[in-house]
A and B are shown apart, each in its own frame.
Chain A
Amino acid sequence: MKGVRFWGTRGSLPVALTASAVRAKVIAAVRGAAGRTFATNEDLEAYVDGLGFATSGTFGGHSPCVEVITGGPDYMLCDLGTGVRPFGQSVIARHGATPQTFHVFMSHVHWDHIMGFPFFAPAYRPGNRIFIYGGHETLESALRRQQAPPSFPVDFDALRASIEFIRLEPDRDYDVAGLTVRSMLQEHAGDSYGYRFTASGKTVIYSTDSEHKLDDLSEAQRFVDFFRGADLVVFDAMYSLADSISVKADWGHSSNIVGVDLCRMAGARHLCLFHHEPVHSDEALARVLAETQRYEELARRDGAHALHVSAAYDGMEIAL
């Protein structure tokens, strides 16, 4: 297992930058460049990189789709949000018509996690093989239903790839494409499942759409055990802690602070904030990241090791 590549990181609903948001970035960049000269392209790029990610880049707006880079010939994904469309295009650009095998692990079948599949071009190509794993009995029916009339013009049966659905039992190890995969049940409307991927001494956790009620130490401990020693934890940090346990309690999501606490207790090395709130601007998400990094400093007591904290964005890659 080589790493993780994020194709979609936004929760609930895909979003796009508006014209006014792009204009604000350009104005900030031009204003910052006033009076400067850039002798080389490297100088210019260094200036742009120094602007901060919220100005020089964007977190993106595709809904959840995360690639686990196996290091082998097969592709592995978590969820089929709209990020799976550019993923599919990249696979076709790389391999052309050569058949490929895809293993997809589904957290659950809420709309934002399945809506990209009708636009996943490799699903239309004969010879490709797609294995879709998950804990939900409704896995196949949910994907079929979103392509049924009147919701979509192309029926699921028109997909020419071989598509197989595989029901997983939680808390059991499976060997898939050279990785050991284990799922666990999470708190979310209709249930969701987190995944633990292990290979070559490296571990990645994908835990999204998971609410932590914080009223039961043993339940927290269940997650600590699941996250134990992970090299990377991709974690649902959609809300502030106050929101997640007050006005948005029972909405099925978690917070940045809970992510830090669970990862610290588990001895994880890297927390990556994920499933971003769709109403948040790039500036708001950058602020959440900075605050989370500060909370990690405050929570680091008694000489404990530092937990690296990042925020996922569409196109981000994390090497293990």
Chain B
Amino acid sequence: MEFTSRKLADVVVAAPSGAIDHPNAMKVQQALAPFIEEEAAGRAPLVLDFSAVDYISSMGLRVLMMASKAMRARNVAMGIAGLQPSVAEIFDIARFRLVIDTFPTVRDALAAVSPAAASAYDAASA
């Protein structure tokens, strides 16, 4: 499993890839920690780019839930973007779209949480 991150204006865009199964879930949790722990992250909104994630297990979904709860507790936005069809199915089966905001694309997620970040994304994509 790979994990990259970048900052667009005031938003952190983090991108795991591959299968977030039980063994990899802990790696994602550790990789996300700097962005969701209060003392480390400040108050940067977080967008998870899931376009390269092809599977997620129950333990992986729990990691997302814990991250979402931590961000919500500090009133900081978090969204997940670019779900592959099979991962979107898993989100629906787990009823996860009821508790975590999902967006068709990273651009859509950025537009929802920070116009400045969306502009930065457009500029970088131009």
Contacts and interface: CB of A to CB of B under 8 A. Distances in A.
Given A217-B26, A220-B59, A246-B65, A257 B94 contact: yes
Nearest to A256: B93
15 contacts: A215-B66, A217-B26, A217-B59, A220-B22, A241-B58, A241-B96, A242-B61, A242-B95, A242-B98, A245-B62, A255-B94, A257-B58, A257-B61, A257-B90, A295-B89
Given A255-B94, A292-B93, A242 B57 contact: no
A51 to B, nearest CB: 24
A255 B58 contact: yes
Best-surrounded residue of B22, B66, B94, B98 (most CB of chain A within 10 A): B94
Interface in B48-103: 55, 57-59, 61-62, 65-66, 69, 86, 89-90, 92-96, 98-99
Given A217-B59, A242-B94, A291-B92, 18 more contacts: A212-B58, A215-B62, A215-B66, A220-B59, A240-B95, A241-B61, A257-B57, A257-B58, A257-B90, A258-B58, A261-B22, A292-B93, A294-B93, A298-B86, A298-B90, A299-B55, A299-B57, A301-B19
Given A217-B26, A241-B61, A301-B19, A246 B99 contact: yes
Nearest to A224: B22
A298 B69 CA distance: 27
Nearest to B57: A261
B59 A214 contact: yes
- By DSSP majority rule, is chain A's interface helix, strand, loop, or mixed? helix
Interface of A: 212, 214-215, 217, 220, 240-243, 245-246, 255-258, 261, 265, 291-292, 294-295, 298-299, 301
A301 B94 contact: no
A217 B27 CA distance: 12
A214 B58 contact: yes
A309 B40 CA distance: 43
B66 to A, nearest CB: 8
B87 to A, nearest CB: 9
